[in-house]
Structure 1
Amino acid sequence: MAKLQQELDDVRSIELDNAFYVEDGTWIESLTVASNAEFDPEAILEDIPGASLFYSSEIPTGSDELEIRRLTILAKESYPFILSLVLRQEAIPNRIVLQNGVFEVVTTTRDWDQFRSMADEVQETLGEFELLSVTQNEEPGEPLDSGRLTEVLVSKLTDEQLAVLETAYNSGYFEIPREASATDLADELDVAQSTVSERLRTAERTLLELIYGPRE
């Protein structure tokens, strides 16, 4: 996020909507970027090592002076990554925004001791921490919006692939040991078993390509 802000001349804010950890410091991240000028996310990300774009959409604003884009990227985050610091303390990240070079983070913790532990780690690893406010609530608050990233992932699959994945998941096909067979899925969907197997393989390959990229 910080490198993306450096590459954008007129950025207003970058909000981390959600992130899934892949491996070896690599994350799938959903970002909302607000800028005072138009920008090409693909060209920008080409100049950032370890980052690649696989989805971008523009959010209409009705203003010629503001461009908002929702990006989903694959990014290798160097330690310390602010989200990983929050999650290591088992806190719930509610909002993470980078603006004017400063991260504003809203989190939910179980109690003051857990918050203090998280604050101490942020201070120790990032070198600076400022507490703006504390609120005691019965409800923990909403976590980072998973719906936006889910929307991107499912947009890459056909309706038939989504149907077979949902049926397979709900039937226990992916459990160990399996609670349903390909034949059971075929009967449920009223299609041939070979069709179920083909749709499952295609859907799984599509999801893996989103993470690892297409095979050469």
Structure 2
Amino acid sequence: MSELETHLPDVRRIEFENAFYADEGDWIESLLVTSGTTFDPESAVAPLSRVELFHHERVSASRAGQSTYRLTVVAHEPYPFLLGVILRGKAIPNRLELHDDHFDGVVTVKAWEAFRTLADQIQERFGRFELLSVNQVETTGEPLGSGHLGRVLRNELSEEQLTVLQTAHARGYFDVPRGASADDIATELDIAQSTLSERLRTAEKQLFDLVFSTDGASFDTPDDRE
């Protein structure tokens, strides 16, 4: 993220809309980038070694001359990445913005002790942490993405695809390091490993089709479900 902020022209802030871990340090991220000038995202991102641009669109231009772009990227983030620390700490990231070389964020935790542990981890791994305010709330608030992607997936993926992804996620197949092997998942689902691999690939392709769709009006995809 710091590399992206450094190379994009006149960036005022970068806000995470949604982000999830892909594999081997890669994160798929939907970002709102506000800049003091217009720019071509493809040309700006092309020189970056750890960021690959999949889709971009200009969202708005304000009277103050600022422009906001939505970028969908695959970013190879350093370990530990701040969002990863928050998620591993069982906290819910509600808002996360990068500007002026630091992150501003709002997170929700279930207990004060959990927050203290998370704050200590951030302080230890990143060297600085400042608590601005604390509020006790009745609800956890909206997480990054507000669950929209999850609702889309449940509507678009077949039952078999959802079952494979949910089981693999629950068993830690996507964790780093992996908590379960493909053979473990196949055995639990009582299917052949080749069948598991095919269903995972099909589900992942459907997922990427949804994430990287250039159609801003809808998330419709061809009816090629397995």
TM-score by length of 2: 0.69
Distance, in Å, in 2 between the alignment partners of 1:118 and 1:204 is 31
**Quick check: 2:31–2:71 contact (8 Å CA) kept in 1?**
yes
Q: CA deviation at 1:91?
A: 0.5
1:198-213 → structure 2 map (5 Å cutoff): 205=205, 207=207
Distance, in Å, in 1 between the alignment partners of 2:117 and 2:17 is 24
Q: 1:147 to 1:113 in 2, by over 3 A?
A: closer
Larger radius of gyration: 1
Which residue is equivalent to 2:63? Answer: 63
Q: CA deviation at 1:138?
A: 1.1
Distance, in Å, in 2 between the alignment partners of 1:10 and 1:204 is 35
How many residues are paired up?
179
5+ long unaligned stretches in structure 2: 168-188, 192-200, 212-226
- What are the superposed Cα offsets for residues 76-124 of structure 1, whole Å, 9 maximum, x if unpaired? 1011211001011110000000111110011001111000000000000
Which residue is equivalent to 1:107? Answer: 107
Q: CA deviation at 1:62?
A: 4.9
Cα root mean square deviation, aligned: 3.1
Which residue is equivalent to 2:19? Answer: 19
Which residue is equivalent to 1:195? Answer: none
Q: CA deviation at 1:16?
A: 1.0
**Quick check: 2:4–2:51 contact (8 Å CA) kept in 1?**
no
Which residue is equivalent to 2:174? Answer: none
Q: Helix, strand or coil for the counterpart of 1:125?
A: helix
5+ long unaligned stretches in structure 1: 155-161, 179-200, 212-216
Distance, in Å, in 1 between the alignment partners of 2:119 and 2:163 is 42
- The alignment-based identity, stated in percent, is 42
Which residue is equivalent to 1:131? Answer: 131
**Quick check: 2:61–2:67 contact (8 Å CA) kept in 1?**
yes
Which residue is equivalent to 2:37? Answer: 37
Which residue is equivalent to 1:191? Answer: none
Q: CA deviation at 1:46?
A: 1.6
Which residue is equivalent to 1:98? Answer: 98
**Quick check: 2:91–2:108 contact (8 Å CA) kept in 1?**
yes
Distance, in Å, in 2 between the alignment partners of 1:53 and 1:150 is 22
Distance, in Å, in 2 between the alignment partners of 1:140 and 1:88 is 17
Which residue is equivalent to 2:80? Answer: 80
Which residue is equivalent to 1:169? Answer: 159
- What are the superposed Cα offsets for residues 144-189 of structure 1, whole Å, 9 maximum, x if unpaired? 01567679x98xxxxxxx98x54x22897758358xxxxxxxxxxx
Which residue is equivalent to 2:122? Answer: 122
Distance, in Å, in 1 between the alignment partners of 2:161 and 2:121 is 42
Q: Helix, strand or coil for the counterpart of 1:59?
A: strand
Q: Helix, strand or coil for the counterpart of 2:61?
A: coil
Q: CA deviation at 1:39?
A: 1.3
TM-score by length of 1: 0.72
Distance, in Å, in 1 between the alignment partners of 2:162 and 2:18 is 27
Which residue is equivalent to 2:220? Answer: none
